[in-house]
Each structure stands twice: as structure tokens, then as C-alpha cells.
């Protein structure tokens, strides 16, 4: 047992549960204070009861979502309840944190103001009768500042409302704003016949209460309009064991590509115990789910080697580091380009060491929420991967622990062989059914000779 890893996970769980409890307690008290001013007792009681019932449902649905790996029927399968639970949980937590930050700034401002007035109260240069020393916490009579009070009251209201408004927008608008991203990927020593090969990639569908079959069908139709030569699906077809993976596969089988439809499993297939089921359903639909196996595909007068692996864990259940892409060396070809389907983008470092020219991944959802502050893009996905979304590169056959691609100025030299990774931003969502700054993506990848 790796105790440091155990305590780290325990600390994360306790922190998340603590923030959830504090945020719900905050809004519970806020609603009680607001309704206490109402004159009609029956209306006050009705609103409070409705809030308590809704909160119980939200807690039950949220707790249920944490047990995605347990089989059996879910108590709450109604999509409307699941959507409201996800929106309320995410909005309430972020609004609570935002309000606390504003109030913290107000407290600090008042503390500094008291400290300044306390310092001015002691005039140097003349004898004064002894008196107790003044500290920033000492009581200093200050005239009320209406403008300051109005400013912080307005800032608190905006901080509390912004997450709720953003969540509604992210759910109703950007979550379903599918976008096609066309990316040209230069590969050194790519055979001339493979120049212009087009690959359409869909990832992280997460068919669930937040993602319907009609939503998936619309994405598939958009992918078919691109006319790609090859179609790939890089994992996470569902979210939990109760989600209908058969429905998801039944929709993606509508993909059309002359070189076939290929895929790999994601981590949610592991949680749901659906890895074998996904493989069987793929085969029944005339597609192929690659599980630690490869296939050589001919295009024009050349071939490329397509490799697929199940989700690559970075740590074992006991917390020890787990090697990635083990036992796939025999699958790699040296006489043709290799393309790897691996749900976890963190396998890219090892793939580059093994000499795999191109990796296609998903998993991060691009963070689902991304904000830009002072030309820096902030995303929650940074906590799980250095490869959040888009195209990355590393030197081929690099040493273990080699610096990232940005630390290699020679990568701008077309004579330097580099491995490429493309991370798809995914279609669906996990946790909060919201996307902000990271619209769902259908990738059209075009291979080019470097």
C-alpha cells in the first residue's frame, strides 16, 4: 500500500465533500433568511420544503454519480433531475467560493484601512501621555463609507449570480455547439501516397442523461459530411454502468468511412465493466474495437499501422506508478507509419519513446471550462495532464523523462523527427453538464508530409 497516495486521495475526497457541505449550508441559510421576511406563512413553508426536497434529490443523484462503477438500476434515471442536480451542484459551489473570495477581499480592505488610521492616530514629534498601543485589530472609529459598502454589496451579488448564469449558458448553448476542427499534421518520412489521408475523430461521447441519442446522431451526421477516409472513436462511450452502451454503438455505427470505423476503450468503460461488451457490440456493427492489437490498412499504394489499446492507467489501485503501453512493442512496425488510439493522452511520452509517429487521444474534455486571464488559459484539465487539447509534439525515441516539446528549439527544424499527439476535446460532459470556452469537437485530421 502506497500510504502517501492513499492520504492524498483521502485529502482530496474530504476537501471536495467539505466544500460541498459548506456551500449547501451557505445557500440553506441564505434561503431561510430571505424567506423569513415573507408575511405569508404557508408560502414561506412551501418554498423551504421545496428546497429541502430538491436538495435531498440533488445529494442522492450526486452520490449516485460517484458510484459509476457499480452495476444495477439507478434510483434516479430521469434526465431532468440529473441535469438539475449537475447544474445546481456546480453552480452552488462556484458561487459560494466566489462570494467568499469577494468577502475576503472586503475584510482585507477593512483591515488595511483600520491599520492605516491606527498609524495616523499616533503623531510623532511630541510628548504624549502614555496610552495603550493601537493595533490593526483595535477599535478605530471610522465614518461609514456608503460607496465602499455599495461596491462590495454589488460585487457580492454579481459573484453569486455569475456562476448560475454561466452554467445555464454553458448547458443550454455551448454544450451542444458542435464544432469541426480541421488540423493538418505533418509527419516526417510519411509515404507520398499517404499525404492527404483524412481521419475523422470523435471522443468522449458519454451517452447519459446529459447526452441523448439524437445529440450523438447529429454529431455522426456532421462527421459523415466531412468525407474522411478513416473514422476513429477514442473511448468513453458512456459514463456509468446504467447507461445504454448499446444505444451509443447503434448511433456511431452510422459513421461512413471507406477505410472503416475503429476505436478503443476509455476509463469509463472500465468503471462500467463494459470493455468486453463494447468490443462485442463493435463487432456486431461491422466495426472494430482495438484492444492491445494492431491492423495494417492500405491506402492508395501505401500502408499504415493502426494500434489500439485499452485505457492506460498511470497508477495501480494501491497508488504505485504503473508503466504505460506495456507489451505493445511487437505491434509497432518500422516499415510504415504507426497511429496509436489511446484514450489517455498521458501515454504520449511513452509512445514517442517507442517510435510511434502519431497518437490520437481524448479523456480531458479540454477541461470543459476554460477561462483566459492575462493571456493565460486556465483549465481544470491541467490537474490531470499536460496535454489538454489540440496538437502536441515530442522528439521520437526520446529518453525517459525528456523535457516537453516546448523545451526543444530544434523541433522547429523539419529535419528533426517528432512524434505528434492530437487530443480531442470530446462531445459529452462528466459531472456538471456544462461547457464554457471549450465547445464539443469533431476533429478532421489531415496527414501531411513534413
pLDDT of the residue at 14: 85
Residues 403 and 347 in one domain: yes
Residue 435 CB-half CA count within 13 A: 25
Residues 415 and 386 in one domain: yes
Q: Give the whole-angstrom CA distance, residue 204 versus residue 36.
A: 46
Residue 332 belongs to domain spanning: 180-449
Q: Give the whole-angstrom CA distance, residue 99 versus residue 91.
A: 12
Specify whether the CB–CB gap between 366 and 381 falls below 8 A. yes
Residues 189 and 264 in one domain: yes
Q: Give the whole-angstrom CA distance, residue 404 versus residue 400.
A: 11
- Residue 154: how many other CB atoms lie within 10 Å: 11
Residues 286 and 155 in one domain: no
Which of 113, 139, 172 terminates a domain? The answer is 172
CATH number at residue 419: 3.60.21
- Residue 239: how many other CB atoms lie within 10 Å: 24
Residues 6+ apart with CB under 8 A from 407: none
Which of 112, 147, 172 terminates a domain? The answer is 172
Residues 225 and 276 in one domain: yes
Residues 140 and 40 in one domain: yes
- Looking up cell 491606527 gives 118
CA angle 205/72/50 to nearest 5° reads 80
Residues 280 and 336 in one domain: yes
Specify whether the CB–CB gap between 362 and 423 falls below 8 A. yes
Residues 113 and 217 in one domain: no
Please list the residues that pair with 419 across neighbouring strands. 394
Which of 145, 172, 199 terminates a domain? The answer is 172
Residues 184 and 165 in one domain: no
Continuous H helices in 226-371: 245-252, 267-271, 275-284, 348-354
Residues 431 and 412 in one domain: yes
Residues 413 and 276 in one domain: yes
Number of domains in the chain: 2
Q: What is the pLDDT along the chain (450 residues), one digit of tens a residue?
A: 566 766 776 787 788 778 888 888 888 888 888 888 888 888 888 888 888 887 777 677 666 655 544 444 444 555 556 666 677 777 888 888 888 888 888 888 888 878 877 777 665 555 555 555 545 444 445 555 677 777 888 888 888 888 888 777 777 778 889 999 999 999 988 999 999 999 999 999 999 878 899 999 999 999 999 999 999 999 999 998 889 999 999 999 999 999 999 999 999 999 999 999 999 999 999 999 999 999 999 999 999 999 999 999 887 666 667 789 998 999 999 999 999 999 999 999 999 999 999 999 999 999 888 765 545 566 677 778 899 999 999 998 743 344 444 433 334 455 568 999 999 999 999 877 888 889 999 999 999 998
Q: Give the whole-angstrom CA distance, residue 287 versus residue 18.
A: 45
Residues 6+ apart with CB under 8 A from 276: none
Residues 24 and 143 in one domain: yes
Amino acid at each position: 500500500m502506497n500510504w502517501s497516495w492513499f492520504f492524498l486521495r483521502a485529502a482530496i475526497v474530504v476537501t471536495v465533500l467539505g466544500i460541498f457541505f459548506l456551500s449547501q449550508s451557505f445557500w440553506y441559510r441564505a434561503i431561510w433568511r430571505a424567506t423569513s421576511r415573507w408575511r405569508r406563512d404557508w408560502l414561506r413553508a412551501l418554498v423551504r420544503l421545496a428546497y429541502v426536497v430538491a436538495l435531498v434529490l440533488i445529494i442522492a443523484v450526486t452520490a449516485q454519480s460517484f458510484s459509476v462503477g457499480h452495476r444495477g438500476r439507478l434510483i434516479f434515471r430521469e434526465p431532468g433531475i440529473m441535469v438539475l442536480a449537475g447544474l445546481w451542484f456546480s453552480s452552488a459551489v462556484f458561487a459560494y467560493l466566489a462570494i467568499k473570495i469577494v468577502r475576503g477581499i472586503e475584510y482585507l480592505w477593512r483591515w488595511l484601512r483600520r491599520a492605516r488610521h491606527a498609524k495616523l492616530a499616533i503623531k510623532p514629534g511630541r510628548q504624549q501621555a502614555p496610552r495603550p498601543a493601537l493595533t490593526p485589530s483595535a477599535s478605530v472609529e471610522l465614518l461609514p463609507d456608503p460607496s465602499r459598502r455599495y461596491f462590495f454589496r454589488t460585487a457580492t451579488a454579481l459573484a453569486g449570480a455569475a456562476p448560475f448564469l454561466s452554467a445555464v449558458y454553458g448547458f443550454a448553448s455551448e454544450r451542444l455547439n458542435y464544432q469541426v476542427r480541421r488540423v493538418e499534421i505533418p509527419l516526417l518520412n510519411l509515404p507520398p501516397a499517404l499525404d492527404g489521408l483524412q481521419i475523422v475523430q470523435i471522443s468522449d461521447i458519454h451517452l447519459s442523461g446529459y447526452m441523448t441519442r439524437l445529440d450523438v446522431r447529429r454529431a455522426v451526421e456532421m462527421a459523415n459530411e466531412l468525407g474522411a477516409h478513416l473514422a476513429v472513436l477514442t473511448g468513453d462511450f458512456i459514463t456509468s454502468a446504467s447507461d445504454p452502451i448499446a444505444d451509443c454503438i447503434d448511433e456511431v455505427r452510422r459513421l461512413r468511412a471507406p477505410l472503416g470505423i475503429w476505436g478503443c476503450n476509455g476509463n469509463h468503460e472500465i468503471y462500467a465493466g463494459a470493455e468486453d461488451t463494447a468490443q462485442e457490440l463493435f463487432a456486431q456493427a461491422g466495426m472494430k474495437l482495438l484492444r492491445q492489437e494492431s491492423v495494417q490498412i492500405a491506402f492508395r499504394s501505401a500502408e499504415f499501422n493502426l494500434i489500439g489499446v485499452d485505457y492506460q492507467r498511470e497508477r495501480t489501485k494501491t497508488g504505485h506508478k504503473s508503466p504505460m503501453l506495456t507489451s505493445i512493442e511487437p505491434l509497432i512496425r518500422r516499415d510504415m507509419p504507426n497511429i496509436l488510439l489511446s484514450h489517455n493522452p498521458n501515454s504520449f511520452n511513452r509512445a514517442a519513446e517507442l517510435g510511434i509517429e502519431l497518437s490520437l487521444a481524448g479523456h480531458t474534455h479540454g477541461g470543459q471550462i476554460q477561462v483566459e486571464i492575462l493571456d493565460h488559459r486556465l483549465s481544470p484539465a491541467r490537474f490531470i495532464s499536460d496535454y489538454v487539447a489540440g496538437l502536441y509534439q515530442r522528439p521520437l525515441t526520446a529518453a525517459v523523462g525528456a523535457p516537453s516539446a516546448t523545451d526543444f528549439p530544434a523541433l522547429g527544424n523539419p529535419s528533426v523527427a517528432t512524434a505528434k499527439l492530437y487530443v480531442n476535446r470530446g462531445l459529452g460532459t462528466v459531472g456538471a453538464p456544462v461547457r464554457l470556452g471549450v465547445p464539443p469537437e469533431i476533429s478532421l485530421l489531415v496527414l501531411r508530409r513534413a
